[in-house]
A and B are shown apart, each in its own frame.
Chain A
Amino acid sequence: EVHLVESGGGLVQPGGSLRLSCAASGFIFSEYSMNWVRQAPGKGLEWISYSRTSPSVVSYADSVKGRFTISRDNAKNSLSLQMNSLRAEDTAVYYCVRDHIYTFDFWGQGIVVTVSS
Chain B
Amino acid sequence: QSAVTQPPSASGSPGQSVTISCTGASSDLGGFNHVSWYQYHPGKAPRLIIYEVSERPSGVPDRFSGSKSGNTASLTVSGLQAEDEAEYYCASYVEIYKWVFGGGTKLTVL
Verify A47–B102 contact, CB threshold 8 A. no
Contact with B along A83-108 (1 / 0, CB 8 A): 00000000000010000011111111
Verify B45–A44 contact, CB threshold 8 A. no
Chain B 4-29 interface residues, beta-carbon cutoff 8 Å to A = none
- B48 at interface by CB-CB < 8 Å: yes
Interface size of B in residues (CB-CB distance below 8 Å):
26
Verify A59–B89 contact, CB threshold 8 A. no
Verify A47–B51 contact, CB threshold 8 A. no
Query: How large, as a class, is the contact surface on chain A?
Result: 20 to 34
Name the residue of chain A whose CB is nearest to the CB of B50: A103
Alpha-carbon separation in the docked complex, A35 to B101 (Å) = 13
Q: Could you say which residues of chain A place their CB within 8 Å of the CB of B45?
A: 95, 107-110
Alpha-carbon separation in the docked complex, A95 to B38 (Å) = 14
Which of B67-75, B76-84, B92-100 makes up part of the contact surface?
Answer: B92-100
Q: What's the nearest-Cβ distance from chain A to residue B21, in Å?
A: 15
Check A105/B57 contact, CB under 8 A, given A45-B38, A45-B89. Answer: yes
Interface centre among A58, A101, A108 (most CB of B within 10 A): A101
Question: Which listed residue, B48, B57, B100, touches A47 by the CB 8 Å rule?
Answer: B100
Name the residue of chain A whose CB is nearest to the CB of B57: A105
Verify B1–A104 contact, CB threshold 8 A. no
Alpha-carbon separation in the docked complex, A101 to B93 (Å) = 10
Chain B 29-48 interface residues, beta-carbon cutoff 8 Å to A = 32, 34, 36, 38, 40, 44-48
Verify B93–A45 contact, CB threshold 8 A. no
- A11 at interface by CB-CB < 8 Å: no
Taking A45-B89, A45-B104, A102-B34 as known contacts, 9 extra A-B pairs with beta carbons closer than 8 A to each other, sorted by chain A number, are: A45-B91, A47-B91, A50-B97, A50-B99, A52-B97, A101-B52, A107-B47, A108-B45, A109-B44
A–B complex contacts, Cβ < 8 Å, 23 sampled: A35-B99, A44-B102, A44-B104, A45-B40, A45-B89, A47-B99, A47-B100, A47-B101, A50-B98, A52-B97, A57-B97, A61-B98, A62-B1, A95-B45, A101-B51, A102-B36, A102-B52, A103-B34, A103-B48, A104-B38, A104-B91, A105-B51, A110-B45
